[in-house]
Structure 1
Amino acid sequence: MGDREAFDALYDATSAKLHAVCLSVLKSRPDAEETLQEVYIKVWQNAARYASNGLSPMTWLITIARNRAIDRLRARSSRPATAPSEAASQIPSSAPGPESATIRAQERRLLDECLSQLADQQAGAVRAVYLEGVTYADLAQREGKPINTVRSWLRRSLLRLKDCVSQ
């Protein structure tokens, strides 16, 4: 009915609890305080709508505070934090960094040196199977050799590569 003294008493009795509700949702004291003000404005404007239906008035107030805090949280998260051009510059590049690129180049050079120490046919077999993804059967057919021969080449070649790389 617009009774300011009754509203002051309501505020004194409920503000701490409603502030805690807003703070638990928003996790920010300034946002919680601003939301609490909005809650009491809404309560003042809609007090005539409150209908005593067996629920306590505190339940009605907590529902208003919680819903208003969730609305503010949604509005806050839907706003872009930075301009689109700034946001794009903050996305990490998937390209390797200078250190990774250098290490990869050194490893590639070492592998090439070790492969050059193998016979051409065995080096080609290793490259085909392990670098190009050719199957043993396809390699055997391409080389015109039995599959077990190709497997033996690969096994011996890998053991020699292992020795070369570990030196």
Structure 2
Amino acid sequence: MSDSRTSDPAQLRAWLQGTAQHDAVAFRRLYEATSARLYGFALRILAKRELAEEALQDSFVAIWNKAHTYQSQLAAPMTWMTTIVRNKCFDLLHDAGVQVDLGAEPFDKDVASALQDPNATPIEALEIGREAKALAVCMSALEGLHRQAVGLAFFHDLSHQEVAQHMALPLGTVKTWIRRSLERLKTCLARGDRP
């Protein structure tokens, strides 16, 4: 199911907002509109159908539970959901003993290729690309360690405590950096600092 209505980022945002309110109909429509693309993305990472199906199921449970944390000014809906799928895939690989790098790069090639819907109209592809580029520009303006903290928290779905452990920093420092960085990102995106 990939008509212009279901590929529209505004429609996906509306369904995510409904999901945040535990609206089962909105969640079902979100699933129907995005699951095929997200499954394909998981399959490219995991290469096994059973694992990709497990990652997809775990991802939609996380989307249902975390939809209230989605911030449209920080990422397009597909970027946010693709990141959740990517992290679930990495969790499965980690559980299988495969080492996965959790660097601070939020827009790796896998995420970018997952966002390239072959059925998207040129205008839809352009909108997704603009949102990703705007966020990348604003992220690059952050100080290195602050950018890494935000990347680990939002693009790798780590808790503040996990970010603090990963970066070997006090929890209070990480919370302050993330809060200040989010304020800067919001200002940057609102200003329209776009490429």
Q: Per the shorter chain, which TM-score range?
A: 0.3 to 0.5
Flag the structure with more relative contact order, 1 or 2, with Cα contacts below 8 A and sequence separation at least 6. 2
Task: Point out the structure with max Rg over C-alpha.
Answer: 1
TM-score for the superposition, normalised by structure 1: 0.45
